[in-house]
Chains A and B, each alone.
Chain A
């Protein structure tokens, strides 16, 4: 119990580091189903007093075993001065390390490699995914380490921490609170997710969140939407 508490404390304090760009993205769950295939679309919008940024991702994913999911992303961004364009590519591997419900908590790992489309800039992300059920609620946490380098990037190591506490009210409406930290950013806000099942393995999942940055006095709001069609 002591080591468990210590690890949680370490995780929380380890988030005083940083990440470039949008910290608000998605809180990953550790679960993978065999034969799972999906299309995914994400929208992230961040507005501050000085700037606004919109990012979109489209992805196709396929589980290659009972516990490993591989997903490829095309990433686009739009700023106040630039129109939407292809910004980067990414390959992501998610590994379900433990059977759901077998241990005290469920664990997974994430590995990502991202390359900028127009330049020789790279980003590698890896980290742990945690989920624990408390009755009809679930606590999900992600701790990621990010290493960046390239022609236009200063070589650096950063960390990000994401947290979601969700109430499984109805399949279609599961309200949540989300928290994101990284590079001096500390944001928290309401979110929800839902799922609608169709025939067989076909199902549509949605997530949305409105996150406000708390550590600065100015305006800094992020809005995120994710749609996943699994088949």
Chain B
């Protein structure tokens, strides 16, 4: 019984220890005709950002990026949120798994000049 209580305590503390991501800056991408717009998006270094992708196409796409360590289904005619970062400066590629030839883009992480 003590082990069980101990176990529940661990779970509780894990949740309590989480910090909610308030004031996360939002950035927007649009997927239309299997093309991400803008194709290059600049975000600040060492900052977590909220990427909102609006899939205007009639079919689902899957956002995939090994660089960003993210994989997310983009449902048709819906907005999807992906949290990325904090990242060090550099270029991070992503693509759509269903249309990798056209649905491609890049997140550019810079110290200044985030758009």
Interface residues of A in 166-188 (CB under 8 A from B): 168, 171
Mark each residue of chain B from 6 to 45: 1 if its CB lies under 8 Å from any CB of chain A, else 0. 1101110111111111000000000000000000000000
Among B3, B16, B21, B64, contact of A197 (Cβ-Cβ < 8 Å): B64
Report chain B residues within 8 Å CB of A157.
Answer: 3-4
Asked if B73 and A101 sit within 8 Å, CB to CB, the answer is: no
Asked if B10 and A201 sit within 8 Å, CB to CB, the answer is: no
A95–B94 Cα gap in the complex (Å)?
26
Asked if A145 and B4 sit within 8 Å, CB to CB, the answer is: yes
Please judge, given known A-B contacts A17-B3, A159-B3, A197-B97, whether A100 and B70 are in contact too, CB under 8 Å: yes
Mark each residue of chain A from 20 to 56: 1 if its CB lies under 8 Å from any CB of chain B, else 0. 0000000000010111000000000000000000000
A185–B56 Cα gap in the complex (Å)?
53
Mark each residue of chain A from 183 to 208: 1 if its CB lies under 8 Å from any CB of chain B, else 0. 00000000000000100110000000
Report chain A residues within 8 Å CB of B97.
Answer: 197, 200-201
Report chain B residues within 8 Å CB of A3.
Answer: 13, 16-17
Asked if B10 and A103 sit within 8 Å, CB to CB, the answer is: no
B89 within 8 A of A: no
Asked if B3 and A10 sit within 8 Å, CB to CB, the answer is: no
Report chain A residues within 8 Å CB of B15.
Answer: 107
Report chain A residues within 8 Å CB of B70.
Answer: 100-101
Interface size on A, residues (CB 8 A): 37
Binds B, one of A76-84, A86-94, A128-136, A210-218: A128-136
Please judge, given known A-B contacts A100-B70, A101-B84, A159-B3, whether A11 and B62 are in contact too, CB under 8 Å: no
Asked if A104 and B18 sit within 8 Å, CB to CB, the answer is: yes
A-B pair number, CB within 8 angstroms: 84
Asked if B83 and A100 sit within 8 Å, CB to CB, the answer is: yes
Among A31, A103, A171, contact of B21 (Cβ-Cβ < 8 Å): A103
Asked if A10 and B13 sit within 8 Å, CB to CB, the answer is: yes
Report chain A residues within 8 Å CB of B9.
Answer: 10
A116 within 8 A of B: no
A14 within 8 A of B: yes
Residues on A facing B (Cβ under 8 Å): 1, 3-4, 6-7, 10-11, 14, 17, 31, 33-35, 66, 98-105, 107, 128, 130, 133, 135, 138, 143, 145, 157, 159, 168, 171, 197, 200-201
A-B contact pairs, 14 of them (CB 8 A): A4-B13, A7-B16, A10-B10, A11-B10, A14-B10, A33-B73, A100-B70, A101-B48, A101-B84, A103-B20, A107-B15, A145-B4, A157-B4, A200-B62
